[in-house]
Amino acid sequence: MPRFALTLEFDGTPFMGLQRQAHGPSVQQAVEEAVLAITGEDVRMHAAGRTDTGVHALAMRAHVDVAKDIAPFRLMEGVNARLRPRPVAVTACHIVPGDWHARFSCLGRAYVYRIVNRRAPLTLDANRAWQLAHPLDAAAMHRAAQHLVGLHDFTTFRSAHCQAQSPVKTLDRLDVERAGEDVRIHAEARSFLHHQIRSMVGCLALVGMGRWDPDDLRRALEARDRQALGLNAPPEGLYFVKAVYPDE
């Protein structure tokens, strides 16, 4: 049975997350229902990540197995037609080997978190960034972020509902940059704990506002205690931007 790799772009605002939920709409449900309408097949979509309610994606990778004889372009066009008007789109589709898996073949994941640092209300960026009115020192945030790069026990930055077997992760990148009123935090790792990025961003924001210094962030990490967390950033500023696979 052919396996189709999909690249998905979506606005997470109306969804309860990527993964199917019993209590509300999900990206997975939307895509699976669209494939069913096109092929008549009840498929299961597997994705590289599991985004929370309100989290967005620029290039989430996923796959479905479809028995119907259909070209990747036709499948993409048909699914996109069925997805409207929901804010989900398949931006690329191709056939991959049967042992390729969107989640288990993935070697790395990259996210970006957007903060709009201004007092005026958000209009175009409403539900697509975290607005902070207090001036942020992005350089101080970047310096503090380097305490978190590398192999650490991230218990402090882990949701109480996290299902990962271990809180130990290797964070490959955590960079903070400013472009005008936009402050962006880039995070890369093989995998992340539930809420890890939002928790790190929340604490970096405290550094940027001058309420914490970089050593406070280091001490929070070393505490290995969720009670040491200063702030958990909201979901609307978080975007899944890239999944890395062998030979890509």
Q: Is the pLDDT of residue 168 over 90?
A: yes
3-state SS, residue 227 = helix
The answer on 87 and 117 residing in a single domain is: no
Quick one: what percent of the chain has pLDDT higher than 90?
A: 93
The pLDDT of residue 113 is: 98
CATH number at residue 85: 3.30.70.580
**Residue 59 contacts residue 12 (beta carbons within 8 Å):** no
pLDDT, tens digit, 9 for 90 and up, residues 139-162: 999 999 999 999 999 999 998 888
Count of CB atoms situated within 10 Å of the CB of 46: 17
Rounded Cα–Cα distance for residues 162 and 40 (Å)? 35
pLDDT band at 215 (very low <50, low <70, confident <90, very high): very high
- Asked whether residue 75 is assigned to any structural domain, the reply reads yes
Number of domains in the chain: 2
pLDDT, tens digit, 9 for 90 and up, residues 42-78: 999 999 998 999 999 999 999 999 999 999 999 999 9
pLDDT, tens digit, 9 for 90 and up, residues 216-248: 999 999 999 999 999 999 999 999 999 999 987
Q: Quote the crossing angle between the two packed helices 196-208 and 138-145, to the nearest 10°.
A: 130
The pLDDT of residue 161 is: 82
The answer on 21 and 52 residing in a single domain is: yes
- Asked whether residue 205 is assigned to any structural domain, the reply reads yes
Rounded Cα–Cα distance for residues 17 and 54 (Å)? 7
- Asked whether residue 34 is assigned to any structural domain, the reply reads yes
pLDDT band at 29 (very low <50, low <70, confident <90, very high): very high
* Arithmetic mean of pLDDT, 73-100: 97
The answer on 209 and 183 residing in a single domain is: yes
Q: Which active-site residues does the annotation give?
A: 52
- Asked whether residue 176 is assigned to any structural domain, the reply reads yes
The pLDDT of residue 162 is: 83
Q: Is the pLDDT of residue 23 over 90?
A: no
The pLDDT of residue 101 is: 98
- Asked whether residue 103 is assigned to any structural domain, the reply reads no
**Residue 102 contacts residue 19 (beta carbons within 8 Å):** no
The pLDDT of residue 105 is: 97
Tell how many helices (H) and how many strands (E) occur in the chain.
Answer: 5, 10
Q: Is the pLDDT of residue 193 over 90?
A: yes
* Arithmetic mean of pLDDT, 99-110: 97
The answer on 192 and 119 residing in a single domain is: yes
Residues 6+ apart with CB under 8 A from 3: 63, 64, 65, 95, 96, 97, 98, 100
Whole-number CA gyration radius for the chain: 19
- Domain region containing 179: 108-244
Mean pLDDT of the chain: 96
pLDDT band at 135 (very low <50, low <70, confident <90, very high): very high
Q: Of 96, 120, 138, which residue sits at a domain end?
A: 96
CATH number at residue 150: 3.30.70.660
